[in-house]
Amino acid sequence: MTPLNIEAVLELGNFSLQISEQLPVDGVLGVLGGNGAGKTSLLRLLAGLEHPHSGRLEVDGVCWFDSERGIALPTHERRVGMVFQDARLFPHLSVAGNLDFAARRARGPAVPREQVLDTLGLGPLLNRRPAALSGGERQRVALARALMSAPKLLLLDEPLSAADMGYRGELLSYLHEVIGSFGLPTVYVAHTLDEMTRLARHLLVLRGGKCVANGRITEVLAQLDLPEVSQGHQSGAVIEATVAAHDATYQLTHLTFGDQQLSVTGLMGTPGDQLRIRIYATDVAIATRRPEAISIRNVLTATVDGIRVDAQLPYADVLLTSGGHPIRARLTRASLDELGLAEGQSVFALLKAASLVSD
């Protein structure tokens, strides 16, 4: 997958979106932020549905917008495949008609229609009208339609939000499958960390129209002072680990990262594979001495790298470094004080669980 470089210096009128960033889209660039942070505005600027009052936008070396040189490439010439929150299927066309609309206007290499239909499970829906589809089905058709237009850049605006709760996991799997098999540079807007960690490698965090973090997801997730990744039960770290061995007897996979070892349940990958492991902050406990006679198998040696306490909350967030990777732990403030933790201290991190980010 070739990284796609977005250079954006954008200013948008009364709602001030001010971004001046280089965004490498190597696979999926996640855009995270609360309501009104400017996530959708950013996508609309990229798609050319909105033009900034001033600024410059360059994608993959091609200028799409430059207020000084008077360049504003219209949307239909940008070759962006956009999936809107509300699908926006053409109501007068069947599912097949919607896909054909996109395919006939595709300006890139022909997209294998069968593969798109198979990947998104659309075969049985082809003759249906959009009005007869469920929310999740509409999003799948919208995604297929965007793919059929042979885009250079895929823009996804909270594609899960229109799907029923129980169906989001399935839709996320479809998305993962699509991104994996079509290898398109993608900008993905979402507001849950779980979606992000599943898909994105690079994370941009917006707040009030400004960029507050931009970097590899492993690094951004570790920022204690960033409420977007610190609040809520999904806060946690992603580490990249290598499969060392399988234990068929106990059905475990042993992994290494840096000088640390870790095992996860189930037999994953083959030795030598790189896997992404998600470790929630609430699943990490800290001990100042190596615990004995304990059921938890994953005990890592770590150093305390930072502590963030909010006197209003019962919890404290602790950032650890283990095997060169940042890991977050959430303790009660009471425990923090009892253990007397301080920055630079060597501790043991006990992982109650570590889950694989399927990759």
Partner 1 sequence: MGIEWQALALTAQLAAVTTGCLLLLATPLAWWLAHSARPWAGWVEAVVALPLVLPPTVMGFYLLLWFAPDGGLGSLWFNLTGGPLNFTFTGLVLASMVYSLPFATQPLQAAFAGIGPGILEAGATLGASPADRFLRLVLPLSRRGYLTAGVLTFAHTLGEFGVVLMIGGNIPGETRVVSVALYEAVETLDYGSAHRLAGVLLAFSFVVLLLVYGLNRRLSFRLGPGI
Q: Does 84 bind partner 1 (CB under 8 A)?
A: yes
Find the binder of partner 1 among 12, 29, 59, 80 (CB under 8 A).
80
Least Cβ distance, residue 19 to partner 1 (angstroms) = 20
Q: Does 107 bind partner 1 (CB under 8 A)?
A: yes
Nearer to partner 1, 6 or 279 (CB): 6
**Among residues 81, 136, 185, 326, which is the contact residue for partner 1, using CB under 8 A?**
81
Task: Give 108 or 291: the residue with its C-beta nearer to partner 1.
Answer: 108
The residue within the footprint of partner 1, chosen from 146, 162, 279, 285 (CB under 8 A), is 146
Q: Which of 86, 170, 219, 305 binds partner 1 (CB under 8 A)?
A: 86
Exposure class string for 144-183: b at 16+ Cβ within 10 A, else e: bbbbbbbbbbbbbbbbbebbeeebbeebbebbbebbeebe
Q: Are strands 236-247 and 71-72 parallel, antiparallel or unpaired?
A: unpaired
Q: Which stretch binds partner 1 (CB under 8 A): 82-90, 188-196, 218-226, 318-326?
A: 82-90
Among 7-15, 103-111, 117-125, 336-344, the segment contacting partner 1 (CB under 8 A): 103-111
Distances from the Cα of 155 to the Cα of 73, 147, 180, 292, 341, angstroms: 17, 11, 15, 50, 44
Output 98 or 214, the one with its CB closest to partner 1: 98
The 71-72 sheet, strands edge to edge: 71-72, 62-66, 54-59, 4-12, 17-25, 210-216, 202-207, 28-32, 186-190, 153-157, 80-83
Q: Which residues in 148-207 contact partner 1 (CB under 8 A)? A: 149, 155
Q: Which is nearer to partner 1, 101 or 348 (CB)?
A: 101
Q: Which of 25, 82, 162, 221 binds partner 1 (CB under 8 A)?
A: 82
Instruction: Name residues contacting partner 1, limited to 40-79 (CB under 8 A).
Output: 47-49, 74-79
Residue 79 CB, shortest distance to partner 1, in Å, is: 7
The reply to whether 102 sits near partner 1 by the rule CB under 8 A is yes
Q: Is 92 in the site for partner 1 (CB under 8 A)?
A: yes
Task: Give the residue ranges of DSSP H helices in 279-347.
Answer: 333-339
Please check whether residue 19 is in contact with residue 211, taking contact to mean a CB–CB distance below 8 angstroms: yes
Non-local CB neighbours of 172 within 8 Å, separated by 6+ positions: 160, 195, 198, 199
Residues in 254-273 that interact with partner 1 by CB under 8 A? none
DSSP line for 220-287: HTT-TT-HHHHSSTT-EEEEEEEEEEEETTTTEEEEEETTEEEEEES--S-TT-EEEEEEEGGGEEEE
Q: How many CA atoms lie within 13 A of 46 on its CB side?
A: 33
Strand 346-351 vs strand 284-287: parallel, antiparallel, or unpaired? Answer: antiparallel
Smallest gap from residue 39 Cβ to partner 1 (A): 17
- Select 33 or 48, whichever has its Cβ closest to partner 1: 48
Residues that bind partner 1 (CB under 8 A): 47-49, 74-82, 84, 86, 88-92, 101-102, 105-107, 129, 131-132, 145-146, 149, 155
